[in-house]
Amino acid sequence: MKIMQYLFLGFSLDTQKKELYYQSQKVELTRQNYQLLSFFVKNPGNVIDKDKLVEEVWNGRIVADNTIDQSIYKLKKVLTSINNEKYFETIYGLGTKFLPQIVVLPNNRSKTTSSIKSFPTKKILFQTLIPIFFIIVFVLNNPFKNTISDNTKPIFIVLPNKISLDENDWLQKSPSLFIEKILSHSSNITLKHYQDKPDNLDQQQYLETQWKLSPNLYVVTSDVSIQENLFSVTLSILNKQGKVTEQIFQNTKLNNAFSLGMQWLTKQTKTHDLIVSPSSFIPKNPYLLELYMRGLSAENQQKMDEAINYFELCRNEDPDFHLATIELAKLMDRKGDQDKALALLDTIRLINTNAAIEIESDAIRGGILLRQGKPEQAEKTYTALLQKYQDHNYQDLVSLRYRLSILYATSSRYQKALGVLNALEPILVETQNYEYLAESFQAKGSIYLKIGQIDQAKFFTNKAMDIFVKTGDLIGQVKTHSGIARISIQQANYADAISHLKQSLNITRSLDYKFGIGATLNEIIDVLVLQGKTNEARKLNQELEKIALGIDFTAMLLASKIHTIEISQLLKQWEKAEIYLKEHHELAQASNYVRGIKQNTLLTVSLNLEQNITDGVPQLLESLERSIEESGETLLTLQVNILKAQYYFLIGQSQQAESLLILSKTMAIKTQDNVALVQINNLLAKYYLESKKSLKAMAVLIESEKYSPTAKPYLLLKSKAYLESSQITKALETANMCKRLANDLWTVDDEMYLAKLVELKVSKLKSN
């Protein structure tokens, strides 16, 4: 029987241990509880009759109907006492349905709860601060019908060497790293980096998935040993059919043994005409190769000083051994000595004649310049390199193109970013680089959302999800579900957004991935606040703040403070909002977080206008407009226009406010920003009601119905429009509906308004 793990609503049912966990905490179950729950989670959404339960859970024993009902009730009580959701639905006369959707994972609990600490290096686009349950597909049928190429270009994965406690452990750790270095410098093959493997997949699951995607994949393993001054290099090639081809190469000199091995590898895989000559990278000095491989081993074990020492010795032995210089530059960058790193890379640039070395070197240079806050220089480095090697497909050029697209996107040059991604995608399809292809689709989805092209945003985000599901990448799915939720929020489809985000939360909690949990909580809170569910939002925000402090992440802590400000503002707790606004400003200033400072200005204006304070507002709005013009964040323009219209209303320039809102409505329709459309119509309706124009007020409110408005203030305004037109019964019905749906935003003043409507209705009935 296959041992599995079933995830639902924060719970994890482990069929190996026969135990239930909630957010990594064990939940006590009776044997009967476990058997009943185990059967239901394996049959989610199916209506199960009592006969089936007797057969599967009670093993055919005679059981009273009441006993079954009581057992389900007790299980339900256990689950709801921990997470108060709806778990069961009784279908009269048919049976019982288990409602939560299930994520099914192979059981590797001990691995997944501890190993995922951060995204792989290239997976850095968890937007904002960074999801309907799905089944992870490990065995795929006809994947990527419109994406996968029939290209037979050879693809390699080099598996890491097994850990050894041998005194010559560098010989066990470094061979795979060195082989990867050689293969990565060819433009005619595709090298998949094993370190990019999704952490939730074990090695066999990952390889099965990769073979399904790329049948022409070669899996390479290596081993090096030394005995009586004789080096033995063992290379093995594993193909999809499970065939292993292995050969041992012996020589008194390590470099000679490796040269023989790499020549054999290229012949066996029919790539001897494709892979750059190994002799270009295997030094003729055997001592130099030993120093380099010792350095790779130390670097892999995070022994930075030891690795630096070995690479320095390499350069002393041969200053023109550029592989060592590149590794040394990377280590100096990690230690914070970026000037030393750049000086080393400058040396390579001046004397190197190898294209692959130049590309790798300048790719590193661009990354350093970005971290130094010099995006223009980084861009110049990238574009010059891409221009020089525009007809080549070196793998470092792929990652470099992707970085350039992100650089354009972060500087709001969205069309340029899309242009780079469009040019990159055919290369990714040809080389069957599905990891980067998914990232590319996700990046395009995010860009299209920012420029208001919702249909395109949906299309590419769904394409990214398709790949992440087929490759079994849970973290990729979490990020993409978050992207789908942001699209849903833009369209005021809150139920869909919450559904996606709850799935994301379940996955990140099952992986105990703190950053992902915090990022998802941040987005769920946003949606809850929009719906007026402030109590639930406040509870989750406390968890968000705790996580932010635990992982020392300033942007996440700033997001938590924003939520507190917004909740306080909704509940008209002005003093509390002002306190947190000040704390948010101090934190944003101290961390020099430009976007945080901009958010603080928006919040300050909004808070002042809500309290009818206009002093200083024009200056703040002007600074925001300048910032938008510089950054090109067009979606922010709508928020500023709405605030500006509120200001005009307060100072008596109502006609100017109305004109601005009507102009902004056109912009919101174009960008499909349903949230902004509802805000605009609510403001217009409020103005029309104050101007005794109830018909115009009702017209804009009815227009909002297709944009899925939240209950308050929409329904309350609609009730007042009915009242203005003397439709008291409709006004009363609408106000009661608002009270029921406004969640925590229904106030004492609202209750008094409702009471007034009741009095008017009673009075009218008496008069009749």
Which pLDDT tens digit goes with each residue over 68-83? 888 888 888 888 888 7
Determine the pLDDT at residue 135.
24
Q: Which residue blocks in 451-493 are alpha helix, DSSP H? A: 454-470, 474-490
Among the residue ranges 186-190, 512-516, 613-617, the one predicted with the least confidence is 186-190
* 6 beta partners: 13, 104
**Mean of pLDDT values over 711-736:** 93
Task: Write the single-letter amino acid at 364.
Answer: I
Q: Is the pLDDT of residue 278 over 60?
A: no
The rounded distance, in Å, linking the Cα atoms of 174 and 595 is 43
Question: Per mean pLDDT, which range of 484-493, 563-572, 614-623 is the poorest?
Answer: 484-493
Q: What percent of the chain has pLDDT over 90?
A: 36
pLDDT on residue 114: 28
Q: Which domains does the chain have, with CATH numbers?
A: 4-106 (1.10.10.10), 710-768 (no CATH)
Q: Are 437 and 460 within 8 A, CB to CB?
A: no
Structure tokens at 235: 């290379």
User: Whole-angstrom Cα distance, residue 298 to residue 561?
Assistant: 42
Q: How confident is the model at residue 141 (pLDDT cuts 50, 70, 90)?
A: very low
What's the pLDDT tens digit per position in 739-763? 999 889 999 999 999 999 999 989 8
> Long-range pairs for 644-650 at CB < 8 Å and ≥24 separation?
645/680, 645/683, 646/609, 646/683, 647/605, 647/609, 647/614, 647/617, 647/618, 647/621, 649/683, 649/687, 650/609, 650/612, 650/614
Q: Are 299 and 331 in contact (CB under 8 A)?
A: yes
The per-residue pLDDT of the chain, averaged, comes to: 83
Alpha-carbon gap, residue 236 to 432, rounded angstroms: 23
The backbone region for 512, taken as left when phi is positive above 0, alpha when psi lies in -120 to 50, beta otherwise, is left
pLDDT mean over 59-73? 80
Strands 155-158 and 190-192: parallel
What confidence score (pLDDT) does residue 108 get? 42
In order of 357, 473, 616, 760, the CA distances from 399 in angstroms are 15, 19, 46, 69
Is pLDDT above 50 for 130? Answer: no
Name which of 389, 400, 469, 402 is nearest 439 in CA terms.
402
Helix (H, G, I), strand (E, B) or coil at 105: strand
| CA pair distance 444, 426, nearest whole angstrom | 14
Nearest to 412 by CA among 585, 588, 595: 595
Count CA within 13 A, CB hemisphere, residue 593. 20
Question: Span 438-448, mean pLDDT?
Answer: 91
Amino acid at 261: G
pLDDT at 1 (0 to 100):
45
pLDDT band at 341 (very low <50, low <70, confident <90, very high): very high
Lowest mean pLDDT segment, chosen from 21-35, 395-409, 609-623 = 21-35
Mean pLDDT for the stretch of residues 136-144: 29
Higher pLDDT: 349 or 579? It is 579
Q: What gap in Å lies between CA 41 and CA 50, rounded to an integer? A: 16
**148, pLDDT greater than 70:** no
Please tell me the predicted confidence (pLDDT) of residue 279: 59
Phi, psi of 160 (to 5 degrees): -65, 150
What pLDDT, in 10s, does the model give residues 362-385? 999 998 988 887 888 989 999 999
Flag whether pLDDT at 485 surpasses 80: yes
- Give 144's pLDDT tier (boundaries 50, 70, 90): very low
Q: Quote the CA–CA distance of 484 and 134 in Å, as a whole number.
A: 14
Name the pLDDT band for 168 (thresholds 50, 70, 90): low
Tokens 């579900």 found at: 481
Which tens digits make up the pLDDT trace of 406-421?
888 877 788 999 999 9
Place of tokens 């040269």: 259
Pick 209 or 22 by higher pLDDT: 209
The one-letter code for the residue type at 137 is V
pLDDT digits (tens, 9 = 90+) for 726-735: 999 999 999 9
| Predicted confidence band of residue 355 (pLDDT cuts 50, 70, 90) | confident
Q: How much is the pLDDT for 308?
A: 92
Instruction: Place 105 in a pLDDT band, splitting at 50, 70 and 90.
Output: low
Percentage of the chain with pLDDT > 70? 90
**DSSP per position, 725-748:** TT-HHHHHHHHHHHHHHSGGG--H
Of the ranges 1-10, 265-274, 396-405, which is most confident?
Answer: 396-405
* In contact, 88 and 97? CB cutoff 8 Å: yes
Q: How crowded is the C-beta side of 498, counted as CA atoms within 13 Å?
A: 15
- In 28-108, which ranges are continuous DSSP H helix? 31-41, 50-56, 65-82
User: 589-603, pLDDT tens digit by residue?
Assistant: 888 777 788 889 999
Examine the pLDDT at 571 and tell me if it is beyond 70. yes
* Residue 697 banded pLDDT, cuts 50, 70, 90: very high
Instruction: Determine the Cα–Cα distance for residues 339 and 342; give it in Å rounded to an integer.
Output: 5
Please determine, for residue 218, whether its predicted confidence score (pLDDT) is greater than 70. yes
The pLDDT-based confidence of 111 (bands split at 50, 70, 90) is very low
CA–CA separation, 728 and 721 (whole Å): 10
pLDDT band, residue 716 (cuts 50/70/90): very high
Strands 103-106 and 4-8: antiparallel
Return the pLDDT at 398: 83
* 568 vs 183, more confident: 568
